[in-house]
């Protein structure tokens, strides 16, 4: 796997002026996007990344700061960066219905003029999906149940990355992470205990149980940003490019 590009590393509130959740994974000329928050399209352009580079978009769950950027991306493919190559959108069960509902809510309709094929695929826990040279595996996350939350493992040519999406700590989390090369873990809080999100204190306490070669924190809230100089893990920032 060539590299990971952190397009957006902030929480739902854009703490610290950071963009919402969006992470590019590149390998062997293929690119997928993990999450597509509403600030994603602007982030890609600010970083000089052509949105047409994306071969697939993988959504971890249905909170708006993780998926509400999809309609903007699709309308961009119609008017600004005309797309002609296929695109796949992968997400929890009901992903197509959710995206179609977002497009209707935003009054963004592009089907009649679309010059590329668009395919939707649903994640199923602990079942693999082959996707443009990547293998995607989904695992249960502990988050608001109605958002259908998943953690996502991405296997490329010779590296594995695990993305927690949004999740609180749960006892099977270390098992699901396994022996990946890179764990990208959400970390909204420093020490505040909130059942649906991770905090730095808990991650530090459980580090020995995480077999990942490297842990990088993202989805950083104001509490964590205030304490960055004390962090015991690497922390992502918008625009960070990380070889894997």
Task: Enumerate the active-site residues.
Answer: 65
Number of structural domains in the chain: 1
Quick one: tokens of 130?
């082959």
Contact 235, 15 (CB under 8 A): no
Query: What domain range is 140 assigned to?
Result: 3-243
pTM of the model: 0.96
Burial of 107 (0-12, 13-18, 19+ CB in 10 A): exposed
Helix axis angle for 95-106 and 70-79, nearest 10°, is 70
- CATH number of the domain where residue 98 is located: 3.60.15.10
Task: Render each residue's pLDDT in the chain as its tens digit; 244 residues.
Answer: 689 999 999 999 999 999 999 999 999 999 999 999 999 999 999 999 999 999 999 999 999 999 999 999 999 999 999 999 999 999 999 999 999 999 999 998 776 778 999 999 999 987 899 988 899 999 999 999 999 999 999 999 899 999 999 999 999 999 999 999 999 999 999 999 999 999 999 999 999 999 999 999 999 999 999 999 999 999 999 999 999 9
Cα–Cα dist 210/206, whole Å: 7
Distance CA 238, CA 14 (A): 11
In whole angstroms, give the CA distance from residue 222 to residue 244: 28
Helices (H), 178-220: 200-206
């Amino acid at each position: 796997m060539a590299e990971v590009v952190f397009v957006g590393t902030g929480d739902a509130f854009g703490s610290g002026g950071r963009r919402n959740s969006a992470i590019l994974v590149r390998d062997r000329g293929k690119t997928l996007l993990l999450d597509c928050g509403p600030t994603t399209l602007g982030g890609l352009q600010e970083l000089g990344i052509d949105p047409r580079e994306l071969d697939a978009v993988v959504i971890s769950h249905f909170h708006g700061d993780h998926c509400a950027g999809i309609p903007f991306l699709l309308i961009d493919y119609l008017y600004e960066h005309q797309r002609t190559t296929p695109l796949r959108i992968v997400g929890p069960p009901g992903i197509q219905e959710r995206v179609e509902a977002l497009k209707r809510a935003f009054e963004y309709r592009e089907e009649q003029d679309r010059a590329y094929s668009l395919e939707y695929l649903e994640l199923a826990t602990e079942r693999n999906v082959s996707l443009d040279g990547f293998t995607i595996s989904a695992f249960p996350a502990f988050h608001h149940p109605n958002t259908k939350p998943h953690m996502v493992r991405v296997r490329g040519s010779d590296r594995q990355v695990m993305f927690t999406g949004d999740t609180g700590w749960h006892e099977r989390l270390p098992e699901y992470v396994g022996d990946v090369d890179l764990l990208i873990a959400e970390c909204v809080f420093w020490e505040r205990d909130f059942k649906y999100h991770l905090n730095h204190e808990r991650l530090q306490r459980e580090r020995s149980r995480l077999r990942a070669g490297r842990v990088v924190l993202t989805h950083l809230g104001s509490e964590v940003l205030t304490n960055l100089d004390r962090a015991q893990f690497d922390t992502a920032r918008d625009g960070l490019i990380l070889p894997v």
